[in-house]
Structures are given as structure tokens and as C-alpha cells.
Structure 1
């Protein structure tokens, strides 16, 4: 129904964006909302997917058509709903996901929230051989820092809120607190990207 929305990115929340266009403010769930930080209060183009349920109409937004198509492929797998698909896509570099599916690495796939062994096996069955083009180019490793920033705790609180919104448990979030405290991040987006790498490693 919708291809994309073009408007002003007026708000960024842990799990969703607010884009204002033609006098309306659209709430758009995003795999990694903080990735849009540098565009706050600027005009953006967000690719949309409308998911219709009996009791809701929900917009999901993506940085490009490739990410949107990957979301739709994941969402069609049995037992993976939109929330699980977003959690899987939150790791910007999708190379690991593609490699895990192609190599039938169930252990890697079950590290995503909402993905158990049977669902991981179903992902492999449904998607193997279909994901060759879905390899992101923005997943560079973050370089370790020698000094932890004094703002790390505030950043971690934002990261923890975003991870909880994506379905990660408090136990999983607490487990990455110590290694994250040893790093320094230029932005919450960098901190969140590093957290995703820890969670799936």
C-alpha cells in the first residue's frame, strides 16, 4: 500500500521514529531507530511496510528497499512476526544472518529474541538460497577504545531500553553491561550496534 514516506524526522524513540508529513505525524517502528540520529529534524525518506492485524495497523520503516524486502521475507517465516523480524534486522550488518542461514547454523540464529530451535530450522528451510543479495555494507566493526566515556551509563540506559523493546531479556542485557562499559562510543547508535554484535557473538 505504501512505498515510502518523505517528511521531517521529528522524534526518535528506542524502537520507533516519528515522521511528520503533510500535517500528520506517523509512528514508524524501525529495526534500529538510533541509526537515524544524524537526520533528526531533517527531511528523510523512509521505506514503509504496513502490517494489518485485526486490532491494529502498524507501520514499519526501513533505510532502503533491500532492508524492507528482507523484513518481508523474515516476516513470512512461520512463528516470526514483525517484532522478531525487527530484532533480527537490528544488527546493521546482515552478513552474519545470511551466512548462518546458508551454513545451517541454528545456534547463531537462536541468539535472536523470539527465535527457538524450531523457528531457526524453519528460517533455514524457507530462506536458504534466497538471501545472497542481502548483505549490508554498513556493519564495520567498532574499534575498541582505551578509555571509557563518562557518558557510557546514560548511553547504556538508552541501549538497554531499545533492546528491551526489541524483545531481549534483562538477563541478556545485563550480560553485556560489563564489556560495553570498557568501550567509548561517539553516539548511542554506535553503542547499540556494538551491543548487537555482543548479543549474537
Structure 2
């Protein structure tokens, strides 16, 4: 069982990243691949290894608390690793904990793959058990400004990658169509920024 790996991220896609450690490239499924970049020489990523009859999958997390939250989420009946990553992708973990503690079914069912029954199970299984997970929120230069986008510029590539990443997390074309206009109105300088804003808009719809 792996606890963490330390190496260089050599590849980033909407579906996973590759972390090279000692000359070996490990494919890691992560909640938001575009949080990582290939320019950083060394990155420490906490690892969860899932073993099934037909596959061995590795899941990566920036913080130890994120790994613990993931493990608690997949302990809930009806939530698999993919659904857990989609729930964590928005990074509003404080909002998630508040929703569970306050029986906010409406908030929880906004996540892909989470219906009313699963939301009820989340509350039943996790209420009162997440207080020890203090996860820092990202601030500073990741604030998003609202400006008109140059659709012919390089930013459009970031938007397309973000949309692909949202689809990979399990959001439907119909759900993404509701936020497409708002996303296109933004002038953001990275795929990560578009992805974060997209997740924020999806939780508000």
C-alpha cells in the first residue's frame, strides 16, 4: 500500500496525470488534473490504491486530509472512486461538510452520480465524522475575474480542456450546456481557472 509519492508530473490530461518516480511513470486519477503542471521539478502526492479483480488504480491527492476525505466518501454505499473525485473536484470541502451536517440534500444531489438516495446515505454515514478534516482553501492569484473572452485567442483551448475535464468527472452535456455561455464570457489564463469556475457554476445551478 502506498502512502505518498514524490516525483515530477510529466503529463497532464483531463482524465489523469503521470507522476514519474525513479524513472517509472505512475498514472494517477486526481480530482482536478490541471492543478498540476509539468514545470515543477518535484511534487509530493498522497496516494490511495484501489484493487479490483480486473484493475489496480491509483488516486492522487495534494493533501493528506483530501485523501482521508476521499476514503470516507468511498465508504458510503453508492459512491465509487469516480464519484468521490467528482465530489472533491470543486474543492469547496467546507461547503460539503456543512451540507452533510445540515442535511442539505439539494446541495449534495448537484454532484454527478449523487441522487437523493445516495445523498441520504452520505448524511447517514458521514454526519459528525468529518470535523477532523481541516482542508485549506486555495486563495490569492487563483481569483477569477470576469472579462470578455477573445474566442480566437489561446484561452479557448483552456476552455475546451476544462469542458473535457468536466465530462470526465461525470457531468452531462446537458448540465454543461447550462453554464457554457457564462464560461465563454470569461477571460481566464489557464484550464485550471476555467475548471474551477465551471465547477462553481454547476453547484449554483
TM-score w.r.t. structure 1 length?
A: 0.94
Which is worse superposed, 91-100 or 68-77?
Answer: 91-100
Asked if the contact 1:11/1:40 (under 8 Å) is kept, the reply is: no
Cα shift at 1:145: 2.1
Alignment of 1:162 onto 2:161: no
Structure 2 residue runs without a partner (length 5+) = none
What residue in structure 1 maps to residue 19 of structure 2? 19
Change (3 A) 1:135 1:186: farther
Shift of 1:135: 4.6
Distance 1:44 1:91 in 2: 21
* Residue matched to 1:181: 184
Q: State the shift of 1:139 in Å.
A: 4.4
Kept in 1, the 8 Å contact 2:144–2:193? The answer is no
Task: Give the Cα separation in 2 of the matches to 1:66 and 1:32.
Answer: 16
Deviates more, 1:151-160 or 1:184-193: 151-160
Post-superposition, which runs of at least 4 consecutive aligned residues in structure 1 deviate over 6 A?
none
Distance (Å, rounded) in 2 between the aligned partners of 1:45 and 1:31:
15
Tell me whether 1:92 sits opposite 2:91 in the alignment: yes
Query: Contact (CA 8 Å) 2:155, 2:190: kept in 1 or not?
Result: no
Match for residue 6 of structure 1?
A: 6
Aligned residues between the structures: 200
RMSD of Structure 2 on Structure 1 (CA): 1.6
Contact 2:145 2:188 in 1 (8 A): no
Equivalents in 1 of 2:74, 2:113: separation in Å?
A: 12
CA deviations 1:5-53 (Å, max 9, x no partner) are 111111111121101112211000000010113x545211110000011
1:146 maps to: 147
For residues 52-71 of structure 1, the aligned pairs below 5 Å read: 52-71=51-70
User: What are the residue-to-residue correspondences of 1:123-134 with 2, within 5 Å?
Assistant: 123-134=122-133
Moved more, 18-27 or 76-85: 18-27
Instruction: Note if contact 1:93-1:136 (Cα within 8 Å) is conserved in structure 2.
Output: no
Higher mean displacement: 150-159 or 28-37? 150-159
Q: Aligned partners of 2:134, 2:182: CA distance in 1, in Å?
A: 27
Query: Corresponding residue for 2:42?
Result: 43
Q: What's the TM-score once normalised by structure 2's chain length? A: 0.92
Unpaired runs of at least 5, structure 1:
none
